[in-house]
Structure 1
Amino acid sequence: MENNGRSALHGTTIVAVRDAQGVAMAGDGQITLGGTMAVKHGARKVRRLFRDRVLCGFAGSTADALTLVEKFEGKLEEFGGNLTRASVELAKLWRSDRYLRRLEAMLLVADVDTLLVLSGQGDVIEPDDGVAAIGSGGGFALAAARALRRHADLPAADVVRAAMAVAAEICVYTNDHVVVETLRRGDT
């Protein structure tokens, strides 16, 4: 990923699955410089936000993604943890702000009731099936998670772990240093 002639840190996979018990989100730890060299293997790209009631995973340029996570945290605080409202307001700001508009990243956010993909084009997308993924290995992880949901009776955390393992086998920008975070109904 090039950004105005400078190399950007990138390379990741984030996947999330919602089920009747809650939500699980997983992300790998690889950061790649200039698309040719892995420079970090244990980055933490899935975080708990708003009193541990919201999960947020990010993909794209690391500095850009962290800026967006910070803005998203502010929106969560502003709207009392209302995930959908905070997401829509961030998307509006992201799309309209001259500085934020240039950021090259995506966010995957979730609480026990809602799972959303946020992009700089103003997208706030809730998947139909409770499964979503972003990042360079997102398509691989998404396909694996959907297949597992359809053909195995596994908890969401096991689905995201297995989906990340599949993505790590296929995508050169995804490694097997995986962080999994879960939110369970009734734990708040």
Structure 2
Amino acid sequence: MSPPQNDPAAWHGTTILSVRRGGLVAMAGDGQVSLGQTVVKGNARKVRRIAQGRVLAGFAGATADAFTLLERLEAKLERFPDQLERACVELAKDWRSDRYLRRLEALMAVADAERSFLLTGQGDVLEPEDQIIGIGSGGNYALAAARALAEVEGLSAEEVCRRAMRIAAGICVYTNDRIVLETLESRK
């Protein structure tokens, strides 16, 4: 029996990690694209800057679905500039209620200079209290590693992100070590 089509726990092929620390947010994604048990591509870009570079977005799930959601989020950010939370809530409402969007299979991690959110197709807009988000097949490995590394004094958000992604790549067969990492500084 195969897992339900829209079960995020069953998706594989990506690791996205976002870490906020010391006035900086870092978001990283691995480059591996898998089709079944075959690696199709090793240098995909799953973390992007949107909204004129003011927002970082990383996605896990079906590529076309993720790009559809990225475009929708950008449209929401144009409508609600500098209001990431509101744009995310509006996207989540559409994602949950629109017949077409409801069928999209993806998760998103988004962050601006001040806040970070996890968005799901179930209508969730979650802001983790520790400001660390991990999604995709290696997301839990990266999340656990980042939480442990966040306790180490002197490591920047970028360094925590890079080290945690290397750990995830060493555990998850659907994650490689060709990391794309973007950062934003706090405006405060």
TM-score of the two chains, using structure 1 as the length reference: 0.92
Provide the C-alpha distance between the structure 2 equivalents of 1:14 and 1:2, rounded to a whole number of angstroms. 22
User: Is residue 10–residue 62 contact of structure 1 (8 Å, CA) maintained in 2?
Assistant: no
Aligned-pair CA distance for 1:21: 1.6
Q: Which residue of the partner structure matches residue 122 of structure 2? A: 121
Q: Which residue of the partner structure matches residue 81 of structure 1? A: 82
Gaps of 5+ in 2: none
**Distance verdict in 2 for CA 1:97–1:57, change over 3 Å:** same
Q: Which residue of the partner structure matches residue 27 of structure 2? A: 25
SS in 2 for 1:151: coil
Matches within 5 A, 1:7-46: 11-33=13-35, 35-46=36-47
User: Is residue 16–residue 30 contact of structure 2 (8 Å, CA) maintained in 1?
Assistant: yes
SS in 1 for 2:184: strand
Provide the C-alpha distance between the structure 1 equivalents of 2:68 and 2:181, rounded to a whole number of angstroms. 22
Provide the C-alpha distance between the structure 2 equivalents of 1:98 and 1:186, rounded to a whole number of angstroms. 38
Counterpart code for 1:175: N
Counterpart code for 2:148: A
User: Is residue 10–residue 31 contact of structure 1 (8 Å, CA) maintained in 2?
Assistant: no
Q: Which residue of the partner structure matches residue 139 of structure 1? A: 140
Gaps of 5+ in 1: none
User: Is residue 59–residue 135 contact of structure 1 (8 Å, CA) maintained in 2?
Assistant: yes
SS in 1 for 2:151: helix
SS in 1 for 2:148: helix
User: Is residue 18–residue 112 contact of structure 1 (8 Å, CA) maintained in 2?
Assistant: no
Cα deviation digits, residues 42-80 of structure 1 (max 9, x gap): 000000011111000000111111111111111111101
Q: Which residue of the partner structure matches residue 47 of structure 1? A: 48
Counterpart code for 2:181: V
**Distance verdict in 2 for CA 1:20–1:148, change over 3 Å:** same
Provide the C-alpha distance between the structure 2 equivalents of 1:104 and 1:55, rounded to a whole number of angstroms. 20
Provide the C-alpha distance between the structure 2 equivalents of 1:158 and 1:72, rounded to a whole number of angstroms. 28
User: Is residue 12–residue 137 contact of structure 1 (8 Å, CA) maintained in 2?
Assistant: yes
Aligned-pair CA distance for 1:20: 2.8
Provide the C-alpha distance between the structure 1 equivalents of 2:76 and 2:32, rounded to a whole number of angstroms. 28
Aligned-pair CA distance for 1:81: 2.9
Q: Which residue of the partner structure matches residue 109 of structure 2? A: 108
Counterpart code for 2:27: M
Give the share of equivalent positions with the same residue, in percent: 60
Provide the C-alpha distance between the structure 2 equivalents of 1:80 and 1:186, rounded to a whole number of angstroms. 15
Provide the C-alpha distance between the structure 2 equivalents of 1:28 and 1:71, rounded to a whole number of angstroms. 23
User: Is residue 106–residue 119 contact of structure 1 (8 Å, CA) maintained in 2?
Assistant: yes
Cα deviation digits, residues 96-143 of structure 1 (max 9, x gap): 000110111000000121010000000000001111110000000000
Runs of 4+ that moved beyond 4 A: 1-4
Provide the C-alpha distance between the structure 2 equivalents of 1:172 and 1:97, rounded to a whole number of angstroms. 34
